[in-house]
């Protein structure tokens, strides 16, 4: 009885503010698709899938990843009705695998997303530097642009999420417009040698390095959990969250499947692998020039900046909401759970994340790190690897949760689909670890080993902190789970 009373006291002392917003399924889906950054994937990732992966089978790679993510989303949506805050995968793992595993996953998620965020902030600094030099002939250091982006994103994150959603929506519509226009032009006029069918051969799927092809395709689905992250800010979340999830996964899968095919057809199926290998940086923009002209090439180059900006905003919001939830649960400082009186945003968590990005980027500049080959390549690779671990754990947690809690959803949604997703995600993770040098661009065992060690330490710090809390502050430890009930 004493413990129950103490738990109630903790809940009473917790911040009363809640995030607010009127996001519908389309707005939430836009957040997910913006995090996937379609134009960034087409310009920066598709040449890697084609050139370093399994060549013309790139559309099948996207389809394979899309099917696994769709299977995952079935269990994800079925369990979303039991997730009552913005905790996302952390909340799923906590409810399915226990509080300590959930805290370990939360710690790993915060680190993984932060690494991806800082990597992208450095990369957008370089892209902005090149774009402004090309169009305005003004030269400035990449890190000045990167730090300016950090501050601008911090301002948007401080305000209500609907402000970010509007910014993301405009940028997203424009970049998807260019991609779809190029796709339609190639499909109607025909590619370099017509419209080939070789990309759909199973033999092509197994050629080259199919593991790397699938692996790079996963990059296009990062931020998948955004649907549940915005639960508190959604209108009618019981309807909006499932619908937004299916819209986002279906749209991303279809867009990449069609666009990868059109890219291959546009260049020519017989030569696209060699062309992608020798023109990694310019393959897609050159294709835009060939089929749509120089003006739309310039437009696409500018929209690449907005695409990166959109994904930076989205990931910043995800990390801020993770910290908001962890603050509300008493895992991190309760100040992180403060909600702005006017904007109804997790403003303290957002400011803290802005400060972290600013400090880390400044330190990287002082140490002379290269923004692309070091900050971006290593940060994105390490963050993506951690993300894959979290998604795989979440799929397993869904199975465990429904094994203990009977549901009317049926075996397909609660066991079979999540089980198939777990198998697929585990296979992807195995491929990632087996091909870590290709992901990081570093053959040095020390660098690749350090990445794995850092991710493991992040997980153990969260889980270990939970164990210490359980031993020394059992009431507070018990209150963490109650926050999700």
Contacting residues for 134 by C-beta, under 8 A, at least 6 apart: 301
pLDDT digits (tens, 9 = 90+) for 108-127: 999 999 999 999 999 999 99
Contact 254, 179 (CB under 8 A): no
The mean pLDDT value of the chain amounts to: 84
Q: How many other C-beta atoms are found inside a 10 Å radius of the C-beta of residue 7?
A: 17
Q: What is the 3-state secondary structure (H, E, C) of 259-303?
A: HHHHHHHHHCCCCHHHHHHHCCCCHHHHHHHHHHCHHHHHHHHHH
175: left (phi over 0), alpha (psi -120 to 50) or beta: alpha
Alpha-carbon torsion (392, 393, 396, 397), positive or negative:
negative
Radius of gyration of the chain, Cα coordinates, nearest whole angstrom = 22
- Confidence tier at 3 by pLDDT (50, 70, 90): very low
CA 138 to chain centre: 32
Return d(Cα 166, Cα 370) in angstroms, integer.
Answer: 33
Q: Where are the beta strands (DSSP E) in 301-380?
A: none
The confidence score (pLDDT) of residue 4 equals 41
pLDDT > 70? residue 467: yes
| Full-model pTM | 0.83
CA 12 to chain centre: 34
Contact 227, 245 (CB under 8 A): yes
pLDDT > 70? residue 428: yes
DSSP 234: B
Return d(Cα 288, Cα 137) in angstroms, integer.
Answer: 23
User: Minimum mean pLDDT among 95-99, 321-325, 364-368: which range?
Assistant: 321-325
At CB < 8 A and 24+ separation, what contacts does 199-206 make? 199/56, 199/57, 199/58, 199/59, 199/60, 199/260, 199/261, 199/264, 199/269, 200/59, 200/60, 201/57, 204/54, 204/55, 204/56, 204/57, 204/60, 205/54, 205/57, 205/60, 205/61, 206/54
pLDDT > 80? residue 31: no
Task: Pull the structure tokens for residue 112.
Answer: 């993984």
Alpha-carbon torsion (345, 155, 143, 135), positive or negative:
positive
Return d(Cα 345, Cα 333) in angstroms, integer.
Answer: 17
pLDDT digits (tens, 9 = 90+) for 34-81: 777 889 899 888 988 898 888 999 999 999 999 999 999 999 888 887
The confidence score (pLDDT) of residue 229 equals 64
Return d(Cα 444, Cα 448) in angstroms, integer.
Answer: 7
Contact 54, 261 (CB under 8 A): no
- Could you tell me which of 142, 212, 108 has the C-alpha nearest to residue 441? 212
DSSP string, 101-152: HHHHHHHHHHHHHHHHHHHHHHHHHHHHHHHHHHHH-----HHHHHHHHHHH
Contacting residues for 387 by C-beta, under 8 A, at least 6 apart: 109, 112, 113, 116, 222
Scan for tokens 């260049």, then name that residue.
267
pLDDT > 80? residue 329: no
Residue 97 Cα distances to 3, 72, 90, 206, 405, angstroms? 23, 17, 10, 36, 13
pLDDT digits (tens, 9 = 90+) for 302-328: 999 988 888 888 888 888 888 887 777
pLDDT digits (tens, 9 = 90+) for 232-244: 666 777 777 788 8
Scan for tokens 């970010």, then name that residue.
164
- Could you tell me which of 75, 69, 99, 72 has the C-alpha nearest to residue 407? 75
Q: How many other C-beta atoms are found inside a 10 Å radius of the C-beta of residue 67?
A: 15
DSSP string, 172-221: HHHHHHHHHHHHHHHHHH-BBTB--SGGG-HHHHTSS-HHHHHHHHHGGG
């Amino acid at each position: 009885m004493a413990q129950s009373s103490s738990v109630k006291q903790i809940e009473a002392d917790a911040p009363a503010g809640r995030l607010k917003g009127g996001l519908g399924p389309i707005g939430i889906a836009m957040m997910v698709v913006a995090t996937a950054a379609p134009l960034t994937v087409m310009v920066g990732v598709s040449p890697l899938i084609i050139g370093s992966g399994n060549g013309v089978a790139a559309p099948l790679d996207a389809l394979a990843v899309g099917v696994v993510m769709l299977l995952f989303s079935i269990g994800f949506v079925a369990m979303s009705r039991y997730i009552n805050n913005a905790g996302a995968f952390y909340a799923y793992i906590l409810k399915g695998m226990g509080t300590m595993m959930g805290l370990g996953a939360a710690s790993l998620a915060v680190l993984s997303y932060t690494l991806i965020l800082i990597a992208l902030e450095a990369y957008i600094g370089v892209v902005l530097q090149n774009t402004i030099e090309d169009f305005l002939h003004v030269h400035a250091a990449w890190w000045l642009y990167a730090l300016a982006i950090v501050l601008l994103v911090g301002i948007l994150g401080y305000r209500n999420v609907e402000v970010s959603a509007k910014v993301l929506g405009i940028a997203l519509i424009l970049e998807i417009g260019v991609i779809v226009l190029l796709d339609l032009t190639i499909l109607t006029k025909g590619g370099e040698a017509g419209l080939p069918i070789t990309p759909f051969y199973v033999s092509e799927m197994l050629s080259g390095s199919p593991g790397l092809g699938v692996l790079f395709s996963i990059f296009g689905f990062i931020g998948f959990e955004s649907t549940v992250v915005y639960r508190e800010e959604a209108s009618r979340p019981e309807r909006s969250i499932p619908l937004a999830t299916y819209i986002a996964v279906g749209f991303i899968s279809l867009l990449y499947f069609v666009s990868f095919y059109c890219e291959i057809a546009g260049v020519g199926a017989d030569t696209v692998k060699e062309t992608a290998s020798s023109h990694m940086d310019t393959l897609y923009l050159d294709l835009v020039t060939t089929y749509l002209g120089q003006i739309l090439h310039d437009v696409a180059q500018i929209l690449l900046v907005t695409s990166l900006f959109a994904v930076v905003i989205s990931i910043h919001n995800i990390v801020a909401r993770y910290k908001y939830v962890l603050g509300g649960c008493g895992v991190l400082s309760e100040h992180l759970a403060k909600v702005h009186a006017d904007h109804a945003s997790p403003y303290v968590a957002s400011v803290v994340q802005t400060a972290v990005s600013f400090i880390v980027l400044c330190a990287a500049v002082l140490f002379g790190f290269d923004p692309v080959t070091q900050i971006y390549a290593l940060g994105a690779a390490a963050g993506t690897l951690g993300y894959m671990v979290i998604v795989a754990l979440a799929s397993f947690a869904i199975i465990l949760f429904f094994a203990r809690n009977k549901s009317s959803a049926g075996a397909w949604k609660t066991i079979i689909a999540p089980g198939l997703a777990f198998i697929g995600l585990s296979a992807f993770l195995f491929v990632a670890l087996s091909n870590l040098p290709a992901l990081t661009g570093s053959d040095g065992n020390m660098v690749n080993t350090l990445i794995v060690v850092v991710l493991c330490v992040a997980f153990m710090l969260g889980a270990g902190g939970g164990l210490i809390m359980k031993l020394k502050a059992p009431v507070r430890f018990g209150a963490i789970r109650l926050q999700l009930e």
